[in-house]
Amino acid sequence: MPLPNIIERISDTVWELPVSYKPGMRVPARIYGTEKLIQAMDEAVYDQITNVATLPGITKYALCMPDGHSGYGFPIGGVAAMDTEEGIISPGGIGFDINCGMRLVMTNLTYNEVKPHLKELVDKLYKKIPAGVGSTGFLKVSRDEFRQIVEQGAHWCVKHGYGWEEDLEMTEESGCIEGADSKKISEKAIDRGYNQIGTLGSGNHYLEIQVARREYIMDEKLARVFGITVPDQIAVMFHTGSRGFGHQVATDYLQVFLKVMQSKYGISVLDRELASAPFNSPEGKDYYAAMKCGINMSFANRQLILHRIREVFSDVFGRSPQDMGMYMVYDVAHNTAKVENHSINGQTKKLLVHRKGATRAFGPGMEGVPKRYKEIGQPVIIGGSMETGSYLLVGTSGGSQTFFSTAHGSGRTMSRSKAKKTWRGETLQHEMEARGIYVRSASWSGLAEEAGGAYKDINDVIEAAELSGISKRVALFIPIGNVKG
C-alpha cells in the first residue's frame, strides 16, 4: 500500500503523521515498524490512529505498535496516554476482550523427554481445558462467588488451592488490580462469565507446548534469569482473556457512553467506535471499576488454566509440578487502561494509558516489575502464529518513548473469512503434524482462520520492536504441540 504523502520518517522504525494530517488532531500519530511492515500496513490503521489523536486529553502522541492492524475504534496495537484530569476513557481503546494476555511457564523437561508423550499431553490438555466459542470451565461457582473472583482475581484462585503464592508475584499487577467493583457490572455480564473461568475461548487464543532451542537464545544471561537453563528446554505458553464477560462489560459501557458523550459532556468523536466519557466523570469511573473486573476475571482464568496444565503434566509424567520445575516466567496483560506515572517534558505526570493489543514493557528499576526481575526489566511475551514461534523479550529504558509499551503478537494481514477460504483446517493440521507440530482444535474453520500465512512474520515485528528500542529479544520458542480455540 502506498504511504500517505504527508508521513514523515523519524527513524528506521518510527513514522509520524503530523497534526496537519487531519482536522482536530491534538497530537501527532506515530507508527512503529520497519519500512517493510509500514508498506504492508492496512490503510485503516492510518485513519484509526489519527482519529485517536483527536481525543480529549491525549498526551504527546497517538501510537501504533509494529503488529498494528485495524480494530474496533483504536487500531490493534494502539497506545494512547490520557491526562487523568482532562482526558477521557474509551472502551474502543481497551478492547472487548479485556486483559486478553499471555502466560509463560518453564519446565525442566527436555524435548527428548516430552516427544514420546506429546500427543498424550496435547490430547489431555485439549480435554481438560475447554476451547471454542461458548466453552465452559470445570470451576462451578455461584454468581456471588463470581463477584468475589472478579474483585480478587488470581488471589481467589490461589486461596482456593488453584496455584502457588509465587504465581501471584510473577503476574502483572500481582494477579489483581485494585479498585475492581462488581457492583458496576451488569447481570448479563455475570451470566456470560461465571461459568467460563478456566477456558481458552476461540479466535487467536491458544495453548502451546514449545521448545527453547539453544540456537534461538539471543541473550543467554537474561535467559538464565527467566529460567531457561538447559538445551531444548520445554515451555508452555498460552493466550486467553476475559471471554464473554469482558465483551459484555465493554458492550454495556459503550452504550452508556454513546448516550452521554455528546449530550452531557459535549465530546465529539470522528468514529462512534471511539465512544468516550471523561475519565473523572461518574460514567468514566464506573466503567473503569467494571473494566478492572474484566482484568481480574482474566487473571483468574489464566490461573485456573495453569492449574490444569500442571495437573496434566503430573498425570502424564508421574511427577509433581515442582519436581518438573513448572514455574511461571510471567503473565502479561493486553487490552487494558491503567493509571501510571510517566515523565512528560521532565515532569512526572499521572496518565491513563490505554493499551489495545499492546503489551506493557516496563524497564529496569521501575515500580511494578517483580523483585526477581527488577535489575533487568519486565518480561514481555509476544505470541506468533501457531506455525512459526513466539518470543520472550524484556522491557528497556528506551520504552519511555511509547509509555513503556510494545507489540503483543504477529498482527493479522488477512481477515478470518479470507483465511477460511484460503486454507482448509484438516489439510493444515496434517501439514503441521508433518512438520512436527501436533495440533488439536475446537473446529476446522477455527484452525484455518489461524493459519500462519494470515499473520505478519513474527520475526519482522520483533526486529522492529528491538530496533526502535522499546523491548529487547531474549529467546524464541518453537511450537511442537498446540491446543487451538
- Answering whether pTM is above 0.75, one says yes
Question: Looking at the domain assignment, is residue 40 inside a domain?
Answer: no
Q: Is 241 a member of any domain?
A: yes
Burial 352-390 (b: 16+ CB within 10 A, else e): bbbbbbbbbbbbeebeebbebbeebbbbbbbbbbbbbbb
Known binding residue 207? Answer is yes
Place of cell 537474561: 222
Residues 145, 157: Cα–Cα separation, whole Å: 11
Catalytic status, residue 408: yes
**Cell 485513519 found at:** 47
- Three-class DSSP category at 14: strand
Residue 178's domain comprises 101-253+272-341+350-484
For residue 354, say whether it is annotated as part of any ligand binding site: no
Per residue in 305-327, pLDDT tens?
999 999 999 999 999 999 999 99
The H or E element spanning position 482 is: strand 471-484
- Structural domain count, the chain: 1
Which are the contacts of 255, defined by CB distance < 8 A and separation ≥ 6?
A: none
Angstrom CA distances, 236 to 117, 121, 170, 461, stand at 15, 11, 15, 22
Whether residue 403 lies inside any domain: the answer is yes
**Does 408 carry a binding-site annotation?**
yes
Residues 232-247 have pLDDT tens digits of 999 999 999 999 999 9
| Residue 32, domain member (yes or no) | no
Reduced to 3 states (helix: H, G, I; strand: E, B; else coil), residue 124 is helix
Kindly state whether residue 95 falls inside one of the protein's structural domains: no
331 marked ligand binding residue: no
101 labeled part of a ligand binding site? no
- Pick the catalytic residue: 69, 247, 307, 408? 408
Residue 448 in domain: yes
Mean pLDDT by 10 residues, the chain (485 residues): 84 98 97 95 95 98 96 97 98 97 98 98 95 80 97 98 98 98 98 94 89 96 97 97 97 98 97 98 98 98 98 98 98 97 95 98 97 98 88 98 95 76 83 87 81 82 97 97 89
Q: What is the CATH number of the domain that holds 148?
A: 3.90.1860.10
